[in-house]
Amino acid sequence: MSRLGGGIGTRGPGETKLETDRRHINRQITDIRKELKKVEQHRDRIRKQRDRTNLFRIGLIGYTNAGKSTVLNALTDSQTYEKDELFATLDPVTRKLELTSGLQVTLTDTVGFIQDLPTQLIESFQSTLEESRDVDLLLHIVDASAPNMETHQDTVLSLLKNLDMDSIPLFTVYNKKDLVDGSFYPTLFPNAIISAIDKDDQELLLEKIEHAVQQELEHYSVNIPSDRGDVLAKLNTETIISKEEFVIETQEYHVEGYTKNKTWIDFLFSHNQDNEQ
């Protein structure tokens, strides 16, 4: 009876341990369930917030010294900053960027990748990348003049895979073209081949980014009553407008374009214009 684990007081030492383990595991399961619940609630909140914003976010990634910070500065330095509720909570490595169409996006810098990252550094490295985890587009900056460019590229791509970030759309920017001797053959597509310090290349890069962004957006078509100038203004800075006309018969604006989030447009309409914020 004792060995079969009968009633109270007959448990052998092994069984007691089993019961302790079981209780321990049950507590862990409860804790994990609570954590998961929290994560779910957090995601829900984020999703709801996303419905209220249409902000397209771009992350800069790349091997160390590739020119990420230089690209960030080159693209954003010349642009003026206005105080804007949309961008009020930006962290120091995130800047606002206005594309050729007038669409405003954010651009976030990250710490450079390196090969054979020491294990104790991986965690802190990952946390700096957290910010880039849920971006809508990654700009992969590559130093086109580096002798081991391909190894650098592969290091970045495999780290992205390890971080489960390889499903994020990727656009490659081959940088430092002014330092390349002879011909250059890119291996990642789509791409832009530029020198971050060249003004014309900065323009070209902006256009290419705009194109890459548009690929990720959804087409929309709306009619806006003439008294909703607020909606029209928002669509101008927060979507790419491809068609805009005033229809005299209906006294409405007919607008077509590309947006990150269609729900956000519904939200705009339901939002009372006299009750901003």
Ligand X SMILES: Nc1nc2c(ncn2[C@@H]2O[C@H](COP(=O)(O)OP(=O)(O)OP(=O)(O)O)[C@@H](O)[C@H]2O)c(=O)[nH]1
Q: Write out the residues near ligand X by the rule CB under 6 A.
A: 62, 64-70, 111-112, 141, 175-176, 178-179, 195-197
**Backbone φ and ψ of 254, nearest 5°:** -105, 120
d(CA 201, CA 272) in angstroms, rounded, equals 42
Instruction: Kindly state the smallest distance separating residue 115's Cβ from ligand X, in Å.
Output: 13
CA 36 centroid distance within chain: 23
Judged by beta carbon, residue 65 or residue 214, the one nearer ligand X is: 65
Count the helices and strands in the chain (H runs, E runs).
Answer: 7, 9
User: Binding partner of residue 178 among Mg ion, ligand X, none, CB under 5 to 8 Å per kind?
Assistant: ligand X
Instruction: Kindly state the smallest distance separating residue 164's Cβ from Mg ion, in Å.
Output: 23
Q: What is the 3-state secondary structure (H, E, C) of 39-54?
A: HHHHHHHHHHHHHCCC
C-alpha dihedral, 57 to 62 to 64 to 68, nearest 10°: -50
Tokens of 77: 């330095």
User: Binding partner of residue 153 among Mg ion, ligand X, none, CB under 5 to 8 Å per kind?
Assistant: none
Interface segment toward Mg ion; rule CB under 5 A; list 33-41, 63-71, 120-128, 246-254? 63-71
Judged by beta carbon, residue 192 or residue 231, the one nearer ligand X is: 192
d(CA 209, CA 203) in angstroms, rounded, equals 10
Judged by beta carbon, residue 36 or residue 179, the one nearer ligand X is: 179
Half-sphere exposure of 7 (CA within 13 A, CB side): 0
Tokens of 200: 């014309």
**Backbone φ and ψ of 67, nearest 5°:** 115, 20
User: Binding partner of residue 179 among Mg ion, ligand X, none, CB under 5 to 8 Å per kind?
Assistant: ligand X
User: Does residue number 76 form part of the binding site for Mg ion (CB under 5 A)?
Assistant: no
Judged by beta carbon, residue 152 or residue 260, the one nearer ligand X is: 152
Instruction: Kindly state the smallest distance separating residue 113's Cβ from ligand X, in Å.
Output: 8
**Interface with Mg ion: number of residues (CB under 5 A):** 2
Judged by beta carbon, residue 69 or residue 214, the one nearer Mg ion is: 69
User: Does residue number 65 form part of the binding site for Mg ion (CB under 5 A)?
Assistant: no
Placement of tokens 């684990």 in the chain: 5
Options 11, 50, 55, 69; binder of Mg ion; rule CB under 5 A: 69
Instruction: Kindly state the smallest distance separating residue 155's Cβ from ligand X, in Å.
Output: 12
Instruction: Kindly state the smallest distance separating residue 58's Cβ from Mg ion, in Å.
Output: 15
User: Does residue number 236 form part of the binding site for Mg ion (CB under 5 A)?
Assistant: no
Tokens of 267: 């939200």
Instruction: Kindly state the smallest distance separating residue 63's Cβ from ligand X, in Å.
Output: 7
CA end-to-end span of the chain:
72
d(CA 190, CA 228) in angstroms, rounded, equals 39
User: Binding partner of residue 66 among ligand X, Mg ion, none, CB under 5 to 8 Å per kind?
Assistant: ligand X
H or E stretch at 105: strand 104-108
Judged by beta carbon, residue 156 or residue 241, the one nearer ligand X is: 156
Judged by beta carbon, residue 69 or residue 115, the one nearer Mg ion is: 69
Contact set with Mg ion (CB under 5 A): 68-69
